A and B are shown apart, each in its own frame.
Chain A
């Protein structure tokens, strides 16, 4: 009986430890590498860590020996030396520094050199180019060539605000889930160009071992070559304002065939969306469509109910801009009017014309004018937005 209980306890303990061992490989170190660069980084990191730990343990050992042996309570008589006094002492004094010189510039320096050169070589044998644009607080992806050329979309975090505010149970991929992940082919060298529309961001997927700043007004580049299919998650890692912690980047890697299939269907989907711009929409449809777009893109600052967070983020409810006229009598866009502000931005407000399509801009503007406590009553057709581009 007793033995049975003990076995049971063991089983429970093992059961409790199993999830730990499942993660044990990488919970104490970098995530499992899936690109040559991440693998190189992991190996370099492991090697350097062993070197510095050996140095640490050896030096600590010497100190502990001294602390134990050379103490007054043992009646140890203090020596009086202030430096090496003989040639052989001088020689032995210099040995640790020779070792350190070797570690710094040969043992660590040479592999580091090769890693740097490999990391910065973004062009040799590159198979395709994508452009990643950071904005407060979302990523935008654009395929510059290859079968997916022309595809461009925005990727927003999908974790609901209730989960962040602890009003709902958290998803397993809490804060690391997006609506439109970037899809990349495996075994292709992808050159990644980075830029930003507002402040500095940093596009980082730990499993890729690549991180590079996205700097407004400049292009930076890095590269990835994903060696196995899967979903890889990362985050912005340069402080970019209040949404910095809520700006995940998710990449799905597919083999070449699946990638091409995806590219074809995504193109068809984007074309269908663009076609929506030419049809006549009803106000109700625009408002219904605009609600989701508002909550995904605008509510971070202007809040779900439109009350904003003054003074940095003004309220939309009763706002002069959101209830004022959009177009003048010649059907031209009014400067600093509602459409102008949404399309071109101002100050902290981003320019949305590069991020949202015509239907989305028309929907969100119509929503803002007829919801959030506003009731202007008018609407904006996608075709009108298209005409203003």
Chain B
């Protein structure tokens, strides 16, 4: 192995220290750390926004804020969580772990990598700056259309929409650059002997994600640019009075928006089997079936977009097509569930924090998937659509299926990245509090939706009071619990029990052959895979 020689090399390297080190770094581990830190900060920012929303919804009536401000919070919460928390977390893992997993010395395009990260903080500032500007009497606050930018509401909106459009452009450029980097790295920098069918599943998940991003981000960029010209330069893409069509925006947006769901989830689907296999001490079940299913989901995800707006009205054949194609996604997804469960079946399991999160993740993400299957039915969707039923559904997929998966990954790789073990007791406490309060937050929302509470309303009829109160209390618990997560990560980074190179008894893969933490440069000489 090559790491013994790289350790000597490190001393010859002369990199700047302090802030300049982070501004100029092209090292995949530094950039990965920055991505993950940024993601954690934005996760807390987005969480704080929704805490305010839940506080407003604690009781009927308006207690804390105007409806305008409420609308801004829900939209920016979603944009922050999707673009600034979940996506950077996945990119952070890709930066840290892909080169280690495929035996590459670094990412293929290190300077692009640096730029990709440093576009994110300005984008996050653009997104949230209108809140601050409004305090000084400039403009009327952040984007208030929900994260979906639907025209003509967004054509009507204030400067917050323009800020959000530019933020989305920056985030999009960052994502496309990250994707190009990952594709080039995976295709060109694999260790000798590592064929595509020997790639770790995490690399496969990211490879498909990267292609989806490159295919769909330009469509989003186009859609929001058309919105910008409608707002300021007299075009009428989305204005019927000028020959346009508001629904065109929904088609363009969801052509990006639906694959986006899988963009958020595919990297997680990649590393969860690795975690399951580690703690079940048993090889991954159905590797090839999983690879093909990931590809199938990637392809299906770009042909089902219109199920997000069935109630906008479509010809019957279109409704039927989008209904049946949406249902078809359940097949490859079922293959994945089958493989995940078969991976732990007859293993020798232990339940450290990453394993708890991974198993909780399968169960809760399962609820998200199954309710998604029901939502595909066009006629019933007329009732579910735009109610709290949908809110609960997509939080089961994106919080349970996304964030909790990311948390499993954090606990799994944190000892490798920092060289210290995290506090196991605290980690387990974090899992149980998260899982319980998450369910108590969102199960009532299923019932709220069925009873007829629309989403995105700042105030509600009296019959919805009890469930909203339960949901709010649980949401505050869920929010506070995440402070444990932050504390555990920070204290693990600062010190703690030394981690071994292998960290976990059942760990398997190139990253576990390196010391913990790995030296600044790794695999200067590529390992050979049998």
Contacts and interface: CB of A to CB of B under 8 A. Distances in A.
The judgment on whether A and B are partners is yes
B371 interface: yes
A242 B68 contact: yes
Given A216-B240, A245-B458, A96 B338 contact: yes
Contact of A347 (B156, B245, B463): B156
B454 interface: yes
Interface stretch (A170-178, A257-265, A275-283): A170-178
Nearest to B344: A66
Interface string B316-336: 100110011001101100110
Contact of A115 (B281, B338, B379): B379
Nearest to A43: B380
B382 A117 contact: no
A55 B311 CA distance: 28
Nearest to B505: A72
Contact of B452 (A172, A206, A210): A206
Interface string B267-282: 0000000000000111
B515 to A, nearest CB: 26
Nearest to B69: A242
Given A176-B461, A199-B156, A117 B316 contact: yes
B519 interface: no
B287 to A, nearest CB: 7
Nearest to A241: B153
A183 interface: no
Contact of A97 (B62, B239, B334): B334
A120 B455 CA distance: 25
Interface of A, secondary structure class, is mixed
A312 interface: yes
A71 B374 contact: no
Contacts of B370: 52, 55-56
Contacts of A238: 150, 311, 386
Contact of B331 (A27, A101, A220): A101
Interface in A348-389: 348
B363 A63 contact: yes
A105 B139 CA distance: 51
Contact of A246 (B378, B379, B459): B459
A15 interface: no
A236 B367 CA distance: 28
B447 A76 contact: no
B378 A216 contact: no
A218 to B, nearest CB: 6
Given A41-B383, A62-B341, A239 B459 contact: no
A113 B327 CA distance: 13
B148 to A, nearest CB: 8
A282 B463 CA distance: 45
Contact of B382 (A210, A236, A348): A210
Nearest to A217: B240
Interface in A156-197: 163-166, 170, 172-176
Interface size class of A (residues with CB under 8 A): 35 or more
B73 interface: no
A23 B451 CA distance: 11
B393 to A, nearest CB: 12
B379 A40 contact: yes
Interface stretch (A28-36, A125-133, A323-331, A336-344): A28-36
B346 interface: yes
A233 B289 CA distance: 49
Contacts of B66: 242
B152 A199 contact: yes
Contacts of B177: none
A119 interface: yes
A304 B366 CA distance: 50
A198 B156 contact: yes
Contacts, number: 282
A293 interface: no
A23 B463 CA distance: 10
Contacts of A173: 461
B448 to A, nearest CB: 10
A211 B338 contact: no
B349 interface: yes
B71 A108 contact: no
A168 to B, nearest CB: 10
B5 interface: no
A171 to B, nearest CB: 9
B451 A56 contact: no
A49 B393 CA distance: 13
B510 interface: no
A17 interface: no
B146 interface: yes
B60 A96 contact: no
B371 A52 contact: yes
A134 interface: no
B324 A105 contact: yes
A28 B463 CA distance: 12
A153 interface: no
Given A45-B380, A211-B311, A217-B240, A28 B447 contact: yes
B484 interface: no
B450 interface: yes
Contact of A213 (B67, B288, B312, B323): B312
B241 A217 contact: yes
Given A27-B447, A239-B71, A66 B345 contact: yes
A79 B240 contact: no
Contacts of A62: 341, 345
A135 interface: no
Contacts of B366: 56, 59-60
Interface stretch (A80-88, A139-147, A266-274): A80-88
A104 to B, nearest CB: 4
Interface string B441-457: 00000010011101111
Contacts of B338: 93, 96-97
A116 B319 contact: yes
Interface in A68-107: 70-73, 76-83, 93, 96-97, 100-101, 104-105
B460 A239 contact: no
B61 interface: yes
Q: Which of B62, B347, B452 has the most CB of A within 10 A?
A: B452
A79 B478 CA distance: 37
B61 A235 contact: no
B311 A212 contact: yes
5 contacts: A72-B349, A80-B283, A82-B287, A213-B311, A239-B456
List the 6 closest A-B pairs by CB distance, nearest first: A217-B240, A115-B379, A245-B457, A206-B452, A237-B454, A52-B370
Given A76-B349, A166-B61, 9 more contacts: A70-B344, A73-B350, A101-B331, A109-B324, A116-B316, A116-B319, A117-B316, A199-B156, A245-B458
